[in-house]
Amino acid sequence: MKNTHQEPKTQHTLSVYFCGQEDCGPNHSFGPAMRPHYLLHVIFHGKGIYQCSGHTYHLKAGDAFLIRPMDSIYYRADTSYPWSYAWAGFDGSACKEILKQTVFSDTPIFTPETPSRQNSLLTHMQSLLDTFSENNGNDLASTGNLLLILSDMQKKPSESRTDISNLYFQKASEYIRNNYAYPIQISDVAHYVGIDRSYLYRIFMEHENTSPKQYLLKHRLQMATQLLCSSSCTITEAALSCGFRDAPSFCNYFRQGTGYTPKEFRKAYSGTIYP
């Protein structure tokens, strides 16, 4: 058995506490017992059982199971084909919110649906083991690898069309809010969401009664009005800071959207936050 620990640390947003791996013998078991933090096991070979909250799960290579803080659990390797697994202990203030985005919001186990997802999970787990053992105090590298593992376990969207539409709109609008300052195109938004432009257009018309292009422009203008009202930046600085290619095009769009030139707007509304 190989197990690597770090010194105890103050709780951060997300921290990997330790990692390890083991080739178990037949019927090797642990528990019933509880852990004070999250503990994720990823199975590389063999099979076994995991018991939690009155349920027994039969798991095999490529599967994973999560132990939550202070849950009473038990797990045991198979008699004929005992499992070999790796684990990572972690915790932090963001854990609950992060895990809500994964299958672990509904179940303590994860079973990849395709060989590619299984390979991705095993590769990322091995990377975490390697990174952690060669850590040299680089907590960010270990945390990054853990997040890659959890990204392999993201929950699938709901089958409801309304829920899927809401999810796509939220993802697209969030991308716009986070990237409006850059020269993004609507094709970039569609690619990020994972849908085509025509579907993205229908979603924005459904939710905002406007096109994605107009939504992006409106958000850029809103951010520009806030800059003009609350800072001493130049017109060019406001333009380039909000994703416009130059000051003349910014002034043109600004006049069309607000009825003012940027200079007139600043004079009229300086010191206020324009909605």
- CATH number reported for the structural domain that contains residue 195 in this entry: 1.10.10.60
Split into its structural domains, the chain has a count of 2
pLDDT: which is higher, 132 or 68:
68
Phi and psi for 135 in degrees, rounded to 5?
-55, -55
Q: How many CA atoms lie within 13 A of 182 on its CB side?
A: 10
Report the greatest alpha carbon distance in the chain: 80
Tell me what the mean pLDDT of segment 119-125 comes to. Answer: 93
Q: What's at 69, amino acid-wise? A: P
* pLDDT given at position 246: 93
* The pLDDT of residue 261 is above 50: yes
Residues 96, 74 share a domain: yes
Whether residue 140 sits in one domain with residue 19: yes
Residues 14 and 57 placed together within one structural domain of the fold: yes
- Report the alpha-carbon distance of residue 153 to residue 42 in Å, rounded: 12
Residues facing 42 on adjacent strands:
64, 86
State the DSSP code for 153. Answer: T
Quick check: 175 and 192 in contact, CB under 8 A?
A: yes
Same-domain status, 206 and 170: yes
Please measure the distance between the N-terminal and C-terminal CA atoms of the chain and give it in whole angstroms.
Answer: 60
Range of the domain at 201: 157-275
- Phi, psi angles (nearest 5°) of residue 226: -65, -40
At 114 the pLDDT is 87
pLDDT, tens digit (0-9, with 9 covering 90-100), for 129-164: 988 887 665 678 889 999 999 998 987 665 555 678
DSSP, res 121: H
